[in-house]
Amino acid sequence: MENKQFSLPSQRNYEYAYTLAYKLAAEKLAKTQDIEQQCRMSGAQYLEIDSQRFIILQFLGRSYQVTLPDIDITPVDSQEAVPLKTKVLILHYLTRAKGTPLANKMITFKELPEGAIYFPTFAKRTIRPLVDYLGEEPHQLIDTARKLGGREVDYGDVAVTISAFYYVPITLVLWRADEEFAPSGSILFDATIADYLSTEDITVLCETIVWKLVRILKQD
């Protein structure tokens, strides 16, 4: 999706919006002339087995298989249904990937294309629940994030980096409350992220990560 389409679908139109987005992304991938090259640029693996073609890639610590040419997406380790939102993210990543090496330079959402305009929406959907559920006991973020393949990093009071895709590390940062300030948080990105996902997709991805962490926390 392009940035001009950033407005989020209402609940009533959610299914239609994501079904259309999936259809368009699947068509784009199916028309890609050099699938092997596109896989290299996304860090995915291209396989041909008995005349069948597959793409294998990692998303949030789990392997997914994209079957070509019908563009069916399934987890490698099970037959469970993949959420439509996840399918769209996977296809958008695959088709947009430019193979740009990580810059190892952190940027904020406001530094993304049109990010400053849409930051209030981003913060409401991602940073607020992160702080609401983990801000009071930020150390819990470390163990919780490990279940998504995350690792502890040195930002704020507590921070983790989760590799959403091969070229898309997402860093979640928390600051503890003190006598003057309530707990707070931030989400940081490698400066190359716009070469892999649109600003809208980055919002959806971060929302997905945060709520996965919340569900893991509640299960423990």
Phi, psi of 67 (to 5 degrees): -90, 130
- pLDDT for the residue numbered 27: 95
Give the tens place of pLDDT for each residue, 157-181.
999 999 999 999 999 999 998 888 8
Can you list the residues of the chain whose pLDDT is less than 50?
1-11
Give the tens place of pLDDT for each residue, 182-204.
999 999 999 999 999 999 999 99
Q: What is the CA radius of gyration of the chain?
A: 18
Cα dihedral 57/62/63/69 (nearest 10): -70
CA angle 203, 201, 38 (to 5 degrees): 145
- pLDDT for the residue numbered 16: 83
Q: Taking the model in full, what pTM does it have?
A: 0.91
Residue 3 to residues 6, 127, 160, Cα–Cα distance (Å): 5, 20, 27
- pLDDT for the residue numbered 4: 40
Sign for the pseudo-dihedral over CA of 4, 7, 13, 18: positive
> If you search the block for the tokens 């987005």, which residue do you land on?
21
